[in-house]
């Protein structure tokens, strides 16, 4: 890997809001956010352009709020604002680490984030800046997984990376079942048919329609992100059906 050019030159990384909280039940954890900056630094140094979508679950979760009797649309708007807050917090950490970054939001938040404009996002990426996409897609009823797929397609990312707590996709929850089996590769239809919960169905269908490959991996695995952009088969790859899949 040393000295070799990366396989991917533009990626979209999806982080959960919980990833920014570290082990805390909610809020921000600076060491956890610094770890994100540390993982991104060598990737950017290799010349890879990085877009990033972060969830808002460490601050607010829309679906549970709606399930408790709240209005779903209102809950989703609050959740979208939480993703902007997370993007701003991570932006500050990236900048302090010497990594140029910009926050763009699909939900207008004048004064704190640029409105999402595709050509401007592409210009920022070309300039070597991490573009943090907040505000979901700007409309309720869609998850940040769907927003990540949409933004990856918008910017022409060659790969969508979904960071999780485990090292790929399993047939059952590996944190609860020691006999869980990890998949090395899955096609989109398998993910939907087996109800694996990698991403919501809308996101998977969008990735399938645009043949967007998605790699699910453990962000806490040291060097994993850099290894992936250099083409190593870390985690589980979700993509078009292929012969010779290993499970």
The answer to whether 16 is a known ligand-binding residue is yes
The answer to whether 142 is a known ligand-binding residue is yes
Overall residue count recorded for the chain in this entry: 247
pLDDT tens figures, 47-86? 999 999 999 999 987 667 666 778 999 999 999 999 999 9
The answer to whether 140 is a known ligand-binding residue is yes
The answer to whether 17 is a known ligand-binding residue is yes
pLDDT tens figures, 159-214? 999 999 899 999 988 888 989 999 999 999 999 999 998 899 999 999 999 999 99
CB atoms within 10 A of CB 119: 7
Residues of the chain above pLDDT 90, percent: 83
The answer to whether 144 is a known ligand-binding residue is yes
The answer to whether 139 is a known ligand-binding residue is yes
The answer to whether 4 is a known ligand-binding residue is no
The answer to whether 156 is a known ligand-binding residue is no
The answer to whether 164 is a known ligand-binding residue is yes
- d(CA 96, CA 98) in angstroms, rounded, equals 5
Q: Which of 91-100, 115-124, 137-146, 233-242 has the lowest mean pLDDT?
A: 233-242
Q: Which residues pair with 183 in a beta bridge?
A: 169
Domains of the chain: 10-239 (3.40.1160.10)
Do 51 and 13 touch, CB atoms closer than 8 A? yes
The strand order across the sheet containing 159-164 reads 114-115, 101-105, 130-134, 49-54, 10-15, 159-164, 214-218, 236-239, 185-187
């Amino acid at each position: 890997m040393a000295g070799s050019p990366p396989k991917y030159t533009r990626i979209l990384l999806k982080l959960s809001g919980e990833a920014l909280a570290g082990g805390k039940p909610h809020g921000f954890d600076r060491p956890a956010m610094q770890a994100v900056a540390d993982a991104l630094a060598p990737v950017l140094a290799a010349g890879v352009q990085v877009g990033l979508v972060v969830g808002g679950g460490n601050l607010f979760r829309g679906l549970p709020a709606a399930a408790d009797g709240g209005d779903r649309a209102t809950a989703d708007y609050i959740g979208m604002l939480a993703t902007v807050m997370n993007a701003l917090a991570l932006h500050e950490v990236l900048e302090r680490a010497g990594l140029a970054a910009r926050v763009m939001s699909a939900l207008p938040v004048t004064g704190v984030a640029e409105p999402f404009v595709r050509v401007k996002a592409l210009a920022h990426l070309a300039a070597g800046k991490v573009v943090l996409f907040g505000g979901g897609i700007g409309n309720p009823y869609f998850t940040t997984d769907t927003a990540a797929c949409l933004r990856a397609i918008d910017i022409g990312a060659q790969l969508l990376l979904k960071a999780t707590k485990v090292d790929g996709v399993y047939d059952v929850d590996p944190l609860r079942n020691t006999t869980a089996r990890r998949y090395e590769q899955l096609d989109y239809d398998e993910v939907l048919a087996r109800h694996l919960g990698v991403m919501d169905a809308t996101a998977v269908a969008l990735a399938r329609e645009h043949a967007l490959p998605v790699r699910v991996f453990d962000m806490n695995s040291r060097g994993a992100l850099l290894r992936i952009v250099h083409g190593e088969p870390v985690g589980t790859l979700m993509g078009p059906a292929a012969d010779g899949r290993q499970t």
